[in-house]
Chain A
Amino acid sequence: AQTVTQSQPEMSVQEAETVTLSCTYDTSESDYYLFWYKQPPSRQMILVIRQEAYKQQNATENRFSVNFQKAAKSFSLKISDSQLGDAAMYFCVENSGNTPLVFGKGTRLSVIA
Protein backbone atom coordinates (compact mmCIF):
# COMPACT_ATOMS: atom_id res chain seq x y z
CA ALA A 1 0.00 0.00 0.00
CA GLN A 2 1.16 3.49 -0.75
CA THR A 3 2.20 5.58 2.21
CA VAL A 4 3.22 9.15 2.80
CA THR A 5 5.48 9.87 5.74
CA GLN A 6 5.86 13.20 7.48
CA SER A 7 8.51 12.68 10.11
CA GLN A 8 8.05 16.02 11.90
CA PRO A 9 4.84 16.11 13.98
CA GLU A 10 5.57 19.69 15.04
CA MET A 11 7.81 22.49 13.84
CA SER A 12 8.25 26.09 14.82
CA VAL A 13 9.77 29.05 13.03
CA GLN A 14 10.45 32.67 13.86
CA GLU A 15 8.48 35.21 11.89
CA ALA A 16 10.36 36.20 8.67
CA GLU A 17 12.57 33.12 8.85
CA THR A 18 12.59 30.06 6.61
CA VAL A 19 11.36 26.59 7.52
CA THR A 20 11.36 23.28 5.65
CA LEU A 21 8.79 20.55 6.18
CA SER A 22 9.77 17.02 5.17
CA CYS A 23 7.77 14.40 3.29
CA THR A 24 8.62 11.03 1.77
CA TYR A 25 6.34 8.74 -0.23
CA ASP A 26 6.54 5.29 -1.77
CA THR A 27 4.21 5.03 -4.76
CA SER A 28 5.07 2.54 -7.50
CA GLU A 29 3.13 4.51 -10.13
CA SER A 30 5.03 6.27 -12.87
CA ASP A 31 2.72 9.26 -13.08
CA TYR A 32 1.46 10.96 -9.98
CA TYR A 33 0.92 14.30 -8.32
CA LEU A 34 2.13 15.52 -4.99
CA PHE A 35 0.51 18.27 -2.99
CA TRP A 36 0.97 20.24 0.16
CA TYR A 37 -2.28 21.24 1.82
CA LYS A 38 -2.60 23.69 4.67
CA GLN A 39 -5.28 23.30 7.33
CA PRO A 40 -5.68 26.35 9.58
CA PRO A 41 -7.87 26.24 12.71
CA SER A 42 -10.91 26.94 10.50
CA ARG A 43 -10.53 23.30 9.25
CA GLN A 44 -10.61 24.41 5.63
CA MET A 45 -8.17 22.41 3.48
CA ILE A 46 -6.21 24.85 1.32
CA LEU A 47 -3.96 23.82 -1.54
CA VAL A 48 -0.53 25.34 -1.05
CA ILE A 49 1.44 23.86 -3.93
CA ARG A 50 1.29 21.05 -6.46
CA GLN A 51 4.00 19.06 -8.27
CA GLU A 52 3.55 16.65 -11.15
CA ALA A 53 6.00 13.77 -11.11
CA TYR A 54 6.92 14.19 -14.79
CA LYS A 55 8.03 17.77 -14.27
CA GLN A 56 11.64 18.03 -13.20
CA GLN A 57 11.40 21.69 -12.26
CA ASN A 58 10.49 22.28 -8.65
CA ALA A 59 7.17 24.06 -8.18
CA THR A 60 7.05 27.49 -6.57
CA GLU A 61 4.15 29.63 -5.40
CA ASN A 62 5.26 32.98 -4.03
CA ARG A 63 6.91 32.22 -0.64
CA PHE A 64 6.33 28.49 -0.96
CA SER A 65 8.60 26.15 -2.88
CA VAL A 66 9.29 22.45 -2.97
CA ASN A 67 12.37 20.30 -3.28
CA PHE A 68 11.20 17.34 -5.33
CA GLN A 69 13.69 14.48 -5.41
CA LYS A 70 11.99 11.81 -7.51
CA ALA A 71 14.62 9.11 -7.14
CA ALA A 72 14.66 9.52 -3.38
CA LYS A 73 10.84 9.88 -3.28
CA SER A 74 11.17 13.03 -1.27
CA PHE A 75 8.96 16.11 -1.45
CA SER A 76 9.82 18.82 1.07
CA LEU A 77 8.10 22.18 1.43
CA LYS A 78 10.07 25.34 2.07
CA ILE A 79 8.31 28.40 3.46
CA SER A 80 10.31 31.59 3.14
CA ASP A 81 9.70 34.83 5.06
CA SER A 82 7.31 33.03 7.40
CA GLN A 83 4.23 34.94 8.47
CA LEU A 84 1.89 34.52 11.42
CA GLY A 85 -0.82 33.41 8.99
CA ASP A 86 1.30 30.44 7.97
CA ALA A 87 0.63 28.77 11.31
CA ALA A 88 -1.41 25.66 10.53
CA MET A 89 -1.31 21.92 10.06
CA TYR A 90 0.40 20.98 6.80
CA PHE A 91 -0.37 17.74 5.00
CA CYS A 92 1.67 16.11 2.29
CA VAL A 93 -0.64 14.27 -0.14
CA GLU A 94 0.01 11.89 -3.02
CA ASN A 95 -2.40 11.34 -5.92
CA SER A 96 -1.59 8.60 -8.41
CA GLY A 97 -4.99 8.51 -10.07
CA ASN A 98 -5.73 4.81 -9.73
CA THR A 99 -5.75 4.86 -5.94
CA PRO A 100 -7.27 7.20 -3.37
CA LEU A 101 -5.48 10.27 -2.18
CA VAL A 102 -2.89 9.29 0.38
CA PHE A 103 -2.27 11.67 3.27
CA GLY A 104 0.66 12.01 5.58
CA LYS A 105 -0.09 12.42 9.29
CA GLY A 106 0.62 16.13 9.14
CA THR A 107 3.09 18.63 10.58
CA ARG A 108 1.83 21.32 12.91
CA LEU A 109 3.68 24.55 12.20
CA SER A 110 3.87 27.32 14.78
CA VAL A 111 5.10 30.79 13.86
CA ILE A 112 6.69 32.79 16.66
CA ALA A 113 6.38 36.56 16.56
Chain B
Amino acid sequence: NAGVTQTPKFRILKIGQSMTLQCAQDMNHNYMYWYRQDPGMGLKLIYYSVGAGITDKGEVPNGYNVSRSTTEDFPLRLELAAPSQTSVYFCASSDFGGPDTEAFFGQGTRLTVV
Protein backbone atom coordinates (compact mmCIF):
# COMPACT_ATOMS: atom_id res chain seq x y z
CA ASN B 1 0.00 0.00 0.00
CA ALA B 2 1.87 3.06 -1.27
CA GLY B 3 -0.34 5.72 0.39
CA VAL B 4 0.22 9.17 -1.12
CA THR B 5 2.90 9.47 -3.78
CA GLN B 6 4.27 12.84 -4.81
CA THR B 7 6.65 13.53 -7.65
CA PRO B 8 9.14 15.05 -8.06
CA LYS B 9 10.87 15.36 -4.67
CA PHE B 10 12.97 18.33 -5.73
CA ARG B 11 12.77 20.80 -8.58
CA ILE B 12 14.43 24.05 -9.58
CA LEU B 13 12.47 26.29 -11.93
CA LYS B 14 13.39 29.50 -13.66
CA ILE B 15 11.10 32.49 -13.32
CA GLY B 16 8.29 32.23 -15.84
CA GLN B 17 8.53 28.47 -16.35
CA SER B 18 5.63 26.14 -15.68
CA MET B 19 5.43 22.70 -14.14
CA THR B 20 3.03 20.14 -12.76
CA LEU B 21 3.44 18.50 -9.36
CA GLN B 22 1.97 15.03 -9.43
CA CYS B 23 0.04 13.45 -6.57
CA ALA B 24 -1.57 10.02 -6.49
CA GLN B 25 -3.21 8.06 -3.70
CA ASP B 26 -4.28 4.44 -3.68
CA MET B 27 -6.58 4.47 -0.64
CA ASN B 28 -9.75 5.48 -2.50
CA HIS B 29 -10.00 8.65 -0.43
CA ASN B 30 -12.51 11.25 -1.48
CA TYR B 31 -10.64 14.23 -0.07
CA MET B 32 -7.36 15.45 -1.47
CA TYR B 33 -5.41 18.60 -0.67
CA TRP B 34 -2.44 20.65 -1.73
CA TYR B 35 -0.57 22.63 0.90
CA ARG B 36 2.52 24.76 0.80
CA GLN B 37 4.90 25.16 3.69
CA ASP B 38 7.28 28.08 3.81
CA PRO B 39 10.42 27.75 5.97
CA GLY B 40 9.62 27.54 9.67
CA MET B 41 5.92 28.01 9.07
CA GLY B 42 2.74 25.98 9.13
CA LEU B 43 0.87 24.60 6.13
CA LYS B 44 -1.27 26.83 3.97
CA LEU B 45 -4.04 25.33 1.86
CA ILE B 46 -3.74 25.99 -1.87
CA TYR B 47 -6.55 23.88 -3.35
CA TYR B 48 -8.61 20.94 -2.27
CA SER B 49 -11.02 18.43 -3.75
CA VAL B 50 -13.88 16.51 -2.17
CA GLY B 51 -14.20 14.08 -5.05
CA ALA B 52 -13.51 13.50 -8.72
CA GLY B 53 -14.58 16.49 -10.81
CA ILE B 54 -14.83 18.83 -7.80
CA THR B 55 -12.15 21.30 -6.77
CA ASP B 56 -12.15 24.41 -4.65
CA LYS B 57 -9.76 27.18 -3.69
CA GLY B 58 -8.00 27.32 -0.40
CA GLU B 59 -6.21 30.16 1.35
CA VAL B 60 -3.47 30.81 -1.25
CA PRO B 61 -4.66 29.70 -4.74
CA ASN B 62 -3.16 32.48 -6.87
CA GLY B 63 -0.62 31.22 -9.38
CA TYR B 64 -1.83 27.62 -9.19
CA ASN B 65 -4.37 25.38 -10.86
CA VAL B 66 -5.63 21.89 -10.14
CA SER B 67 -7.78 19.21 -11.69
CA ARG B 68 -9.34 16.03 -10.33
CA SER B 69 -10.37 13.80 -13.20
CA THR B 70 -10.02 10.60 -11.16
CA THR B 71 -10.31 9.71 -7.49
CA GLU B 72 -6.63 8.72 -7.44
CA ASP B 73 -4.90 11.74 -8.98
CA PHE B 74 -4.75 15.40 -8.02
CA PRO B 75 -2.05 17.27 -9.96
CA LEU B 76 -1.06 20.84 -9.10
CA ARG B 77 -0.08 23.11 -11.97
CA LEU B 78 2.19 26.12 -11.52
CA GLU B 79 1.93 28.64 -14.32
CA LEU B 80 4.56 31.36 -14.77
CA ALA B 81 6.64 30.45 -11.73
CA ALA B 82 7.65 33.30 -9.43
CA PRO B 83 10.23 33.42 -6.59
CA SER B 84 7.33 33.73 -4.11
CA GLN B 85 6.37 30.16 -5.02
CA THR B 86 9.61 28.82 -3.60
CA SER B 87 8.32 26.47 -0.92
CA VAL B 88 7.76 22.86 0.07
CA TYR B 89 4.55 21.46 -1.33
CA PHE B 90 2.59 18.68 0.32
CA CYS B 91 -0.22 16.64 -1.10
CA ALA B 92 -2.54 14.90 1.33
CA SER B 93 -5.61 12.73 1.25
CA SER B 94 -8.18 11.74 3.80
CA ASP B 95 -11.57 10.29 4.29
CA PHE B 96 -14.03 10.93 7.03
CA GLY B 97 -15.77 8.70 9.46
CA GLY B 98 -14.74 5.67 11.45
CA PRO B 99 -11.98 4.98 13.95
CA ASP B 100 -9.29 4.97 11.28
CA THR B 101 -9.90 8.50 10.03
CA GLU B 102 -6.51 10.01 9.35
CA ALA B 103 -4.87 12.35 6.89
CA PHE B 104 -2.08 10.83 4.84
CA PHE B 105 0.68 12.98 3.41
CA GLY B 106 3.11 12.67 0.58
CA GLN B 107 6.79 13.22 1.27
CA GLY B 108 6.73 16.72 -0.10
CA THR B 109 8.23 18.50 -3.10
CA ARG B 110 10.89 21.11 -2.48
CA LEU B 111 10.52 23.72 -5.21
CA THR B 112 12.97 26.56 -5.79
CA VAL B 113 12.22 29.31 -8.29
CA VAL B 114 15.29 31.27 -9.40
Cα distance A91–B45 when bound, in Å?
14
With A97-B97, A105-B42 already in contact, the answer to whether A35 and B102 are too (CB < 8 A) is yes
Q: How many residues of chain B have a CB within 8 Å of chain A?
A: 23
Show the binding face of A for B, using Cβ within 8 Å.
33, 35, 37, 43-45, 47, 50, 52, 91, 93, 95, 97, 100-101, 103-106, 108
Q: Are A100 and B43 in contact (CB under 8 A)?
A: no
Q: Please list 26 pairs of residues, one from A and one from B, whose beta carbons are closer than 8 Å in the complex, sorted by A's number.
A: A37-B103, A43-B107, A43-B108, A44-B105, A44-B107, A44-B108, A45-B90, A45-B92, A45-B103, A47-B103, A50-B101, A50-B102, A52-B99, A91-B42, A91-B43, A93-B103, A95-B96, A97-B96, A97-B97, A100-B33, A100-B45, A101-B33, A101-B92, A103-B35, A105-B42, A106-B41
Across-interface contacts of B7 in A (CB, < 8 A)? none
Cα distance A55–B3 when bound, in Å?
27
With A91-B43, A100-B48 already in contact, the answer to whether A43 and B101 are too (CB < 8 A) is no
